[in-house]
Every structure is written in C-alpha cells, then in structure tokens.
C-alpha cells in the first residue's frame, strides 16, 4: 500500500453490529423447586394454544426458562420432544422476550405443531403475561 493511500476515517465503513448470541446456558434455566414455586405462586399467566406461560420478575437482565410438561401430554418420547421444541423456541426468542422475568411454560396435550407455532405461542404468552405483571406492579405502587 502506498503512503498516499493511507486509511482515513472517510473511507472506513463501520462494521454492522453482530446479531446477539443465541445460547441456552444454565443461567437461562430455572432449576430449583423454589424458583418454580415462586413463579407459580405469583399467578401471573397467559394461555396461548396448548401452552400456559407463567411469569415472575427475577431482577436479572435476561429471561430464564422453566418447563413443566406432564404425563398427559404423552409418553416420555413425546414429552421430551415438546420440551426440546419449547427450549429451542426460547433460545431463538430470548432477545425478544421481556427482560428480567422468569418464565415457566406448562403444556397440555396437543397435536404435533411446527416450530413456528411454538415460537409464536411462547412470544405472545410471555409478552402478555409480562404486561399483566407490569400493570399489577404499577397498580401496587399507586395504593
């Protein structure tokens, strides 16, 4: 490169910001019974398709996921497939979901939907339940 072709700020193009990482690490999971109990006791939920999405504020800068898929959904192979799909939907949507909430998803028996259905149900259920939580928390501060 010649000296007259020195790099200047005018010919530098900023690189686009990389997309956020879509990992599902242990910090994104609810693992203890008391964490699940706290979310269920808050009684803040939204029903979307065969999923019921419960939320509770967690004070963190990211959402965490807990799953409860009962035997009524089907045999173990079916339950595990449903849990895998919900986890994958969460992994892909984690940056779109409301931050600072623990999300527990329960599933009822249902026919085999596509991945897009799980993503839609999780996204809408979490957002709706979080809006309810915010309204309730806002109302508690007024009184």
Query: What is the model's pLDDT at position 118?
Result: 93
Domain-located, residue 17: no
Are the beta carbons of 39 and 55 closer than 8 angstroms? Answer: yes
- Tell me the C-alpha distance between 74 and 108, whole Å: 9
**Angle, in degrees to the nearest 10, between helices 115-142 and 76-93:** 60
Q: What is the CATH number for 71?
A: 3.30.230.10
Could you tell me if residue 29 is inside a domain? Answer: no
Domain count, the chain: 1
| Region of 44 on the Ramachandran plot (φ > 0 left; ψ -120 to 50 alpha; else beta) | beta
The residues near 138 (Cβ < 8 Å, ≥ 6 apart) are none
**Predicted local distance difference test score (pLDDT) of residue 2:** 52
109 within domain boundaries: yes
pLDDT number for residue 4: 53
Cα 89 from Cα 123, distance rounded (Å): 9
> What's phi and psi for 67, nearest 5 deg?
-125, 140
DSSP conformation letters of 52-107: EEEEEE-SSSS-EEEEEE-GGG-SHHHHHHHHHHHHHHHHHHTTTSPTTEEEEEEE
Please indicate, yes or no, if residue 123 is contained in any of the structural domains. Answer: yes
Q: How confident is the model over 133-143, as pLDDT tens digits?
A: 888 877 654 43
Q: What does the pLDDT look like over 2-30, one tens digit per residue?
A: 555 555 555 566 767 666 666 667 778 89
Structural domain boundaries, residue 68: 44-142
Using one digit for the tens of pLDDT, what is the confidence trace for 89-123?
999 988 898 888 999 999 999 888 889 999 999 99
In a domain, 2, yes or no: no
pTM score, whole prediction = 0.77
87 within domain boundaries: yes
8 three-class SS? coil
Confidence of residue 53 (pLDDT cuts 50, 70, 90): very high
């Amino acid at each position: 490169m010649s000296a007259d072709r020195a790099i200047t700020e005018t010919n530098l193009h900023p690189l686009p910001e990389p997309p956020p990482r879509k990992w599902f690490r242990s910090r994104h999971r609810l693992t203890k019974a008391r964490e699940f109990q706290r979310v269920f006791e808050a009684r803040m939920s939204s029903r979307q398709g065969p999923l019921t999405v419960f939320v509770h504020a967690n004070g963190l800068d990211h959402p965490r996921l807990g799953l409860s898929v009962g035997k009524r959904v089907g045999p173990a192979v079916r339950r595990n497939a449903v849990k895998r799909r919900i986890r994958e939907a969460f992994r892909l949507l984690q940056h779109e979901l409301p931050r600072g909430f623990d999300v527990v998803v329960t599933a009822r028996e249902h026919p085999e939907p596509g991945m897009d259905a799980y993503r839609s149900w999780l996204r809408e259920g979490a957002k709706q339940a979080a809006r309810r939580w915010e309204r309730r928390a806002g109302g508690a501060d007024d009184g």
